[in-house]
Amino acid sequence: MKKHWLYTDEGRRGVWRTGIIVLVVTVISELFITLHPHFSIERVFAFYALYGFLSCVAMVLFARLLGYLIKRRDDYYDE
């Protein structure tokens, strides 16, 4: 079976590269578009990018910690 290009190292590098370019563009565009901040915290440059990233990190870490407490084998309820 032929490997799909997404599963090759080269393809994966290409996807990452494209992704990072897109990310950079969305941040830089902020210089050319007038935002309409309502709350003062929105005035921080690239606030949405930072906030989105950091809140996701927080949620993943929290889920990970909670997981230690509440995760059980998936046959837990089967007798």
CB of 49 to other proteins, least distance (A): 4
Site for other proteins in 17-76 (CB under 8 A): 19, 22-23, 26-27, 29-30, 33-36, 38-39, 41, 46, 48-53, 55-64, 66-67, 70-74, 76
Among residues 46, 49, 51, 52, the alpha carbon closest in space to that of 31 is found at: 46
**Residue burial 13-31, b: 16+ Cβ < 10 Å; e: rest:** eeeeeeeeeeeeeeeeeee
Size of the site for other proteins (CB under 8 A): 43
Q: Which is nearer to other proteins, 10 or 41 (CB)?
A: 41
